[in-house]
Amino acid sequence: MFKSKYLQRVFSECLRKNPGEDEFIQAVSEFMEAIDLIVDEDPDIERLGIIERLVEPERLIIFRVPWVDDAGRVRVNRGYRVQYNSAIGPYKGGTRFDPSVNQSIIKFLGFEQTFKNALTGLPLGGAKGGSDFDPAGKSEGEVMRFCQSYMAELFRHLGSNIDIPAGDLGAGAREVGFMFGYYRKIRNEFTGTFTGKGLSYGGSVLRPQATGFGLCYFAREMLSNLRGEDLKGKRVVISGSGNVGSNAAVKAKELGAIIVGMSDISGMIASEKGLDVEFVKELKDGRRLISEYPLYRTDVSFSADYRDLWKVQADIAFPCATQNEVKLEDAKNIVKSGVMMVCEGANMPCTAEAIDLFLEKQILFAPGKAANAGGVSTSGLEMSQNAQHISWSASEVDAKLREIMKNIYQNCYRTSVRVGHPGNLVIGANIAGFLKVYDAMKAQGII
Ligand code: NDP
Ligand code: 2IT
């Protein structure tokens, strides 16, 4: 429990008001554990009700999304957008299409996004959206009709200075294209109201790669700063081989690492010599499964249980699939496999128990809100390009992304030192993100 009486009170109220929202409570609890170190030093935080306001989203939109499948049947999904906090900029965050999506998951993602976006140093508030729609196994026409119906309701809440969605799990370039196209049609204007757009219609070069690339830049900075080492020759395991995982694999390999294991929902593959990550990306970009990899390549082992990934001997782990995929049992396997650093590419992929074990074993650990911020940072760069009607080259965007990830790392590290927990980036990231949002909220009155 928290040492601050104020946090104890706000947390129990939060539990009472959000029954059954386990993921949201988990995210709030990690945040509160970190700020417990500083919250009582500044009486204004309590006087101004800052934490009570932070655990309440500014707005939560829930709506019906009806669409017609290829057989002519009417289907109904539930759509969400949480406009979590706009103290430092317009609402900004991705869109998740997955059957698991519910209010708790959307709220935890919006809460995390608020502090992540603060860490980027860009003027971006926090938001998240999505639906319990499952794109897997749907035809392109079905996905398009669903995206159009989702947009037919959500459009009224969006705008290039109001709320700017992007993709996330289950929503990639194809879905962003369908949503943006419909938004543009019904608004009758062409503005940068989405990020992750295609290059031919206002997208930024490197946005598709940015989260995975940024994760590697962050990991490299952390390894160098805390251990005096680099990624060269390090054996890396990566869960999830979607947008984040596959691009992290490509960049880590380019930086000299050997990718010894990867996974998707069909299972995991491992190879001591290193996987052909470009081929994994090709398979996944073609919406195929990692279980097909052994049909085309030798020197590889396969297990239909994706959690076996964490038993592969490695130096670094990048969990890049989904929340709470790394449970205590997986964390024990990660420790046993000799891993010295875990960087979260996904949002909250490690349970609280898993993180505690890593910290106890002195494994370097980077939380998603810092390590995976490269995606939204590049979305911020896409917004700037759209607003100025220009486009930067790949090398310009890459240079800015490297700089941003380095700054995020340094900000988190310096903060961890200042509060007496050097190298604890869970503490550093949460406090550094909080202080920026707090400062903006304090200046703008009770709203
Ligand atoms: P994608 O949908 O592109 O990819 C998700 C991948 O994870 C797929 O390969 C999927 O397998 C796999 N997967 C899902 N559940 C599991 C599981 N339990 N174990 C192993 N693999 C699994 O999503 P993204 O890469 O965009 O997102 C991944 C994570 O990163 C999410 O937490 C997201 O919120 C976070 N994130 C994404 C950002 C972005 O810019 N896209 C930015 C920052 C964070 P299959 O293909 O077989 O379905
Ligand atoms: O979780 C995330 O940071 C994202 N899905 C990216 C959000 C964005 O607006 O680019």
Kindly state whether residue 397 falls inside one of the protein's structural domains. Answer: no
How far apart are alpha carbons 381 and 402 in whole angstroms?
A: 13
Q: What is the pTM of this model?
A: 0.99
What's the gap in Å between 323 CA and the centre of ligand 1?
Answer: 9
Domain extent for 151: 59-189
Buried b (16+ CB within 10 A) or exposed e, 99-124: eebbbbbbbbbbbbbbbbbbbbbbeb
Kindly state whether residue 114 falls inside one of the protein's structural domains. Answer: yes
What's the gap in Å between 296 CA and the centre of ligand 2?
Answer: 33
For residue 83, how many other CB atoms are within 10 A of its CB?
A: 24
Q: Could you tell me if 4 and 23 lie in one domain?
A: yes
Strands (E), 166-309: 235-239, 258-264, 267-270, 301-303
Between CA 118 and CA 123, with CA 120 as vertex, the angle to 5 degrees is 60
Residue 226 contacts residue 203 (beta carbons within 8 Å): no
Strands (E), 99-209: 125-131, 163-165
Q: Which numbered atom of ligand 2 lies nearest the CA of 378? A: 10
Domain count for the chain? 3
Amino acid residing at 177: G
Ligand nearest to the CA of 114: 2
Catalytic amino acids?
128
Contacts of 393 (CB under 8 A, 6+ apart): 205
Kindly state whether residue 279 falls inside one of the protein's structural domains. Answer: yes
- Ligand 1: which of 124, 168, 213, 344 to mutate, judged by most atoms within 8 Å of the beta carbon? 168
CA 355 remoteness from chain centre: 17
- Using the 3D structure, point to which of 342, 366, 390 is the last residue of a domain: 366
Q: Could you tell me if 338 and 322 lie in one domain?
A: yes
Q: Is the dihedral of CA 198, 199, 200, 201 positive or negative?
A: positive
Structure tokens at 175: 């879905």
Residue 197 contacts residue 203 (beta carbons within 8 Å): yes
Is residue 159 helix, strand or coil? strand
Quick check: CB of 238 below 6 Å from ligand 1?
A: no
Q: For residue 285, give the CATH number of its domain.
A: 3.40.50.720
Ligand nearest to the CA of 214: 1
Write out the chain's pLDDT in tens, 447 residues: 899 999 999 999 999 999 999 999 999 999 999 999 999 999 999 999 999 999 999 999 999 999 999 999 999 999 999 999 999 999 999 999 999 999 999 999 999 999 999 999 999 999 999 999 999 999 999 999 999 999 999 999 999 999 999 999 999 999 999 999 999 999 999 999 999 999 999 999 999 999 999 999 999 999 999 999 999 999 999 999 999 999 999 999 999 999 999 999 999 999 999 999 999 999 999 999 999 999 999 999 999 999 999 999 999 999 999 999 999 999 999 999 999 999 999 999 999 999 999 999 999 999 999 999 999 999 999 999 999 999 999 999 999 999 999 999 999 999 999 999 999 999 999 999 999 999 999 999 999
Q: Which numbered atom of ligand 2 lies nearest the CA of 109? A: 1
Q: Could you tell me if 252 and 276 lie in one domain?
A: yes
What's the gap in Å between 93 CA and the centre of ligand 2?
Answer: 5
- Using the 3D structure, point to which of 121, 155, 189 is the last residue of a domain: 189
DSSP letter at 264 equals E
How far apart are alpha carbons 198 and 221 in whole angstroms?
A: 30
Between CA 403 and CA 408, with CA 407 as vertex, the angle to 5 degrees is 120
- Ligand 1: which of 322, 326, 404 to mutate, judged by most atoms within 8 Å of the beta carbon? 322
Q: Could you tell me if 65 and 104 lie in one domain?
A: yes
Q: Could you tell me if 240 and 295 lie in one domain?
A: yes
Q: Which numbered atom of ligand 2 lies nearest the CA of 379? A: 10
Q: Could you tell me if 68 and 178 lie in one domain?
A: yes
Q: Could you tell me if 250 and 309 lie in one domain?
A: yes
Ligand 2, atom 1: nearest CA belongs to which residue?
94
Q: Could you tell me if 225 and 284 lie in one domain?
A: yes
Amino acid residing at 432: A
How far apart are alpha carbons 107 and 44 in whole angstroms?
A: 26
Q: Could you tell me if 166 and 116 lie in one domain?
A: yes
Quick check: CB of 240 below 6 Å from ligand 1?
A: yes
Q: Could you tell me if 155 and 120 lie in one domain?
A: yes
How far apart are alpha carbons 282 and 257 in whole angstroms?
A: 19
